[in-house]
Amino acid sequence: MPLVSRKGILAIAAVIDVAINARGRPVSAKALAARHKLPPRHLEPVLQALVREGILKGIRGPHGGYEIAREQSRITVDEILRAASRAEEAEDPPLPPSSIVSEVVQPALIEAERTFSAALGKINVEDMAKRAAPAK
């Protein structure tokens, strides 16, 4: 069972890609999608969620695309995953009312998520981009 959703992994990869490829010019959604072998429409909701959260900055126009919105060292994987999960939550139906879900399952998972989130909060885009640069 994966701890991070497919959209979450793609969101992290997109931010790292923008960090290493936006050399003074925005990275287009089309270029991002091509490098990750995805249709552009598949990546667009994730990119928009990252813009709404202030992780990426969207640039409009014929030479538009995406840039990192602030210092890479101040953007954590936890933030990226939270933005991606908000994009996913919009698509998910609400959970049915259940005392087991609300009193047992959710509290246990919330505690586990806090621990996982704290670990992800220690990983930033700058460090990941440095690791990715030689792998390009």
Q: Tokens 């072998």, residue? A: 37
Asked if residue 83 lies in contact with residue 69, where contact means CB atoms within 8 angstroms, the answer is: no
Share of the chain above pLDDT 90, in %: 62
Q: Domain segments of the chain: what residues?
A: 6-135
pLDDT, tens digit, for every residue of 84-135?
988 766 666 777 788 898 899 989 989 999 999 999 999 999 999 999 866 5
**Was domain 6-135 assigned CATH 3.40.640.10?**
no
pLDDT bracket for residue 136 (50, 70, 90)? low
Q: How far apart are CA 136 and CA 133, in angstroms?
A: 6
What are the tokens at 111? Answer: 């505690």
The answer, as to whether pTM is greater than 0.95, is no
pLDDT bracket for residue 14 (50, 70, 90)? very high
